[in-house]
Structure 1
């Protein structure tokens, strides 16, 4: 559902990339992730995800892996050990433990629940980070057993399939379409470990693909120190075109009571550390925000899950859509089609009506240099527009939805340019301006009419015409 955004009062000579990012965005229809790559999204991640009950304290979570996934957690940190089931039995099981003396449960059980979740939620991606103390044989056999038993042999991510060192991470929607939605890192061997049951699936070496902060956040009010020698701002990884995935650890692993410490780590200080320290240090948002007791916070309305959701709202990469417009330095509004970001169709002040008052708004091939008829500005109206804008043509007229005898017109109605109404607020001339990001970091905009609630839209059916239509259509929903 579209929610209106009230932008700050600005005197705009023309729209540019300086408009603030919205706190709520309208998204194009399609994948949950738009056109975002794996490295352009953020996930809530739990530290020692298995440590929810039993074994020895301290616990780091109070909900089991299945509950965590249901709640929105998408990154899991698991410690794996070879453990003898019986001193007189040669069989060794792979367990999730703090140490061999403090084991919680079998890794096969935990991995099985992750696979179950992914099979029941076909648009989701889950990442596992293994702090691994087990043998290569034990670890790969556990993956083989679970993936085979669940008929999920191709679920494991394949770095070779996507040639990530040369081509960077794939689009998330591509991973979803290919069903390569289980991403696993291991920190023990400096190669990507193949799993027998998974054709070209690999357990990727953590330090060839990721950067992260120190484990012990320790409640420091600032700082984003890196762990293991890889600077958090490193991009790309040496000798590759790969953007490393960035993990921000927001927990103190040395405290005896992690649950008592978690609320202070998970509220306002988490958001502040991302905004003031880790985003500036890395040059981008963290991909994995790792915490203890993720449901706890000391700040009303702020939790690790809400913080991550906000990161993704502001980082959503929008596919091409005819209701998206870019604005160039020549004050031209450049429309798009479903097929391409590279449209060269501009919104133009078209033919004047016979009575000499107003005229049609059309689309034409963008001109260079841009004549006055190709130029538009977004400005505050002369009265209080409640955060909405006039979109004014080069001759001072306003972009207008036809009045239609007071009945809001429907989809496909062609826009007018018309004298700006200065005596009172006229919703047919007021537009909500919503900035969004597209593939490649391009800034674009939705323009939503106050009266009709519909979006300014380039008509794809007439983009081949000398003077095509600029209309209104239902705004896409995310």
Structure 2
């Protein structure tokens, strides 16, 4: 990734749309999920996961839920109903394909899911409930199963992570906390399905689907531009209204109106699936789908391409980088924002500080970002007036250049404070020249490392001084990509 980039004359404001995407996979960091949040990972999902037999209505899967989980499925779409199960009129929550055919109790399948999670402590499973059961009956079944299997804490808790204000947690933190069962429900049986963004239809840890997700229509038929949104929320919604929450994005790659889903599934699950993500749904949403929902997940018309392989490829290419003091984002108003995510000092920007007493140049500092951005907070990257061989000046709003101090001609080490200084016509040491290295955090969001041509070190937000009103901007060893 540490490569020189020959770029046209553009301010850094426009680099995000121009720089190539890196190809480095997510680092393990003790977990296969790296530092990805829940909304930054993709999961193979089955439509009508329980509907594995029968001709009327037609089945949507050929394998039962335990086998699906063993083979890599991590999202399950289930329809829950209150159904009479005895001559005396006793009710139970059943998994049914409309009211035509039922496939056993929800409690039984939920127990199988919990058993899988207990056997596989690094896995996370999401359940989407198209719910027609009452609140009391559904929550009673869920609590009964979890308590019976000594797994009450397995259920994801939105309040524990304060997701509306802080966004989704990292998946590896969910694994560490053992909050690995995510359940969303679209409505209560006694309710009509209405749009809600305030969580009013949530109940404890059961999240309301339309307050937390966006989703495509479920009548995809392979036509071009097939990424239309369901009416509840637009696919491109981000964040959810009045929150900091990135909605989970479900891409439905099936047509619910066909009479023979099994015959159609291979054509939906091969090259067409990959193409639809690349050409339609990623551009529409601005990011990869989190849940790729299909019928007959094991079938495909393309050699070497299955829904699982497509999802695995999405995750291999999900460049989610841990926050680092040498990682910067660039805002549309030309602010350079240090990516430390320190709770003591969020949103710290690089600022042109006080001028030196002699009247030439000054110090570069860090301060809390301001809106609107004052001129002292604004920087642009432009090629130098000579052949910089792909390196850039980083210029303050007053026309001066970001500079590593000359240090009597000896390249300084870590922690050297940065200056702003008149741009020189030519310094062979390269202390005003910067290599701009793009990294993709997720969903097209770009950040950058700035490597000084002279020292080979990275522009760094000094973490030791980022809790004060004014801190330092320094250089330090570049992070491993």
Q: Quick check: 1:390–1:399 contact (8 Å CA) kept in 2?
A: no
Q: Does the alignment pair 1:340 with 2:345?
A: yes
Deviation at 1:468, TM superposition (A): 4.5
The number of equivalent residue pairs is: 441
CA 1:232–1:206: 2 relative to 1, 3 Å? same
Cα distance in 2 between the residues matched to 1:208 and 1:265: 30
Equivalent in 10, 14, 17 of residue 12 of structure 1: 10
Q: Does the alignment pair 1:217 with 2:215?
A: no
Equivalent in 439, 457, 479 of residue 475 of structure 1: 479
Equivalent in 456, 464, 471 of residue 461 of structure 1: 464
Equivalent in 163, 168, 180 of residue 171 of structure 1: 168
CA 1:101–1:334: 2 relative to 1, 3 Å? closer
CA 1:170–1:433: 2 relative to 1, 3 Å? closer
Q: Quick check: 1:267–1:298 contact (8 Å CA) kept in 2?
A: no
Deviation at 1:251, TM superposition (A): 0.8
Q: Quick check: 2:81–2:96 contact (8 Å CA) kept in 1?
A: yes
Q: Quick check: 1:11–1:380 contact (8 Å CA) kept in 2?
A: no
Q: Quick check: 2:438–2:449 contact (8 Å CA) kept in 1?
A: yes
Cα distance in 2 between the residues matched to 1:384 and 1:301: 44
Q: Quick check: 1:27–1:318 contact (8 Å CA) kept in 2?
A: no
Deviation at 1:153, TM superposition (A): 1.6
Q: Quick check: 1:411–1:474 contact (8 Å CA) kept in 2?
A: no
Task: Tell me the C-alpha RMSD between the 2 structures.
Answer: 5.7
Deviation at 1:370, TM superposition (A): 3.9
Quote the residue 2:199 is aligned against.
Answer: none
Cα distance in 2 between the residues matched to 1:427 and 1:111: 61
Secondary structure of residue in 1 paired with 2:147:
helix
Secondary structure of residue in 1 paired with 2:448:
strand
Deviation at 1:77, TM superposition (A): 0.7
Q: Does the alignment pair 1:251 with 2:254?
A: yes
Deviation at 1:305, TM superposition (A): 0.5
Quote the residue 2:234 is aligned against.
Answer: 232
CA 1:429–1:144: 2 relative to 1, 3 Å? same
CA 1:56–1:126: 2 relative to 1, 3 Å? same
Q: Quick check: 2:216–2:235 contact (8 Å CA) kept in 1?
A: no
Q: How does 1:387-466 map to 2 (within 5 A)?
A: 389-392=391-394, 431-435=435-439, 444-448=447-451, 455-461=458-464
Quote the residue 1:128 is aligned against.
Answer: 127
Deviation at 1:472, TM superposition (A): 1.7
Gaps of 5+ in 2: 193-202
Deviation at 1:272, TM superposition (A): 1.7
Cα distance in 1 between the residues matched to 2:209 and 2:179: 18
CA 1:380–1:149: 2 relative to 1, 3 Å? farther
Quote the residue 1:75 is aligned against.
Answer: 75
Q: Quick check: 1:83–1:95 contact (8 Å CA) kept in 2?
A: yes
Equivalent in 372, 379, 383 of residue 379 of structure 1: 383
Quote the residue 2:275 is aligned against.
Answer: 268
**Residues 260-315 of structure 1: CA deviation (Å, up to 9, x unaligned):** 33325422133222045x43xxx7765533223446474877954157538954xx
Deviation at 1:47, TM superposition (A): 1.3
Deviation at 1:450, TM superposition (A): 8.1
Secondary structure of residue in 2 paired with 1:323:
strand
Name the TM-score, length of structure 2 as normaliser: 0.65
**Residues 239-270 of structure 1: CA deviation (Å, up to 9, x unaligned):** 97687654331212315124333325422133
Quote the residue 1:146 is aligned against.
Answer: 145
Q: Quick check: 2:79–2:96 contact (8 Å CA) kept in 1?
A: yes
CA 1:168–1:422: 2 relative to 1, 3 Å? closer
CA 1:79–1:186: 2 relative to 1, 3 Å? same
Deviation at 1:362, TM superposition (A): 5.9
**Residues 439-475 of structure 1: CA deviation (Å, up to 9, x unaligned):** xx99642225689986432333356798946122241
Secondary structure of residue in 2 paired with 1:114:
helix
Name the TM-score, length of structure 1 as normaliser: 0.65
Quote the residue 1:309 is aligned against.
Answer: 315
Cα distance in 1 between the residues matched to 2:273 and 2:454: 41
Cα distance in 2 between the residues matched to 1:451 and 1:61: 60
Deviation at 1:128, TM superposition (A): 0.9
Gaps of 5+ in 1: 193-199, 352-358
Q: Quick check: 2:25–2:316 contact (8 Å CA) kept in 1?
A: no
Quote the residue 1:197 is aligned against.
Answer: none
CA 1:20–1:118: 2 relative to 1, 3 Å? farther
**Residues 165-208 of structure 1: CA deviation (Å, up to 9, x unaligned):** xx46853249837654433233452669xxxxxxx734445456
Cα distance in 1 between the residues matched to 2:288 and 2:391: 31
Q: Quick check: 2:107–2:145 contact (8 Å CA) kept in 1?
A: yes
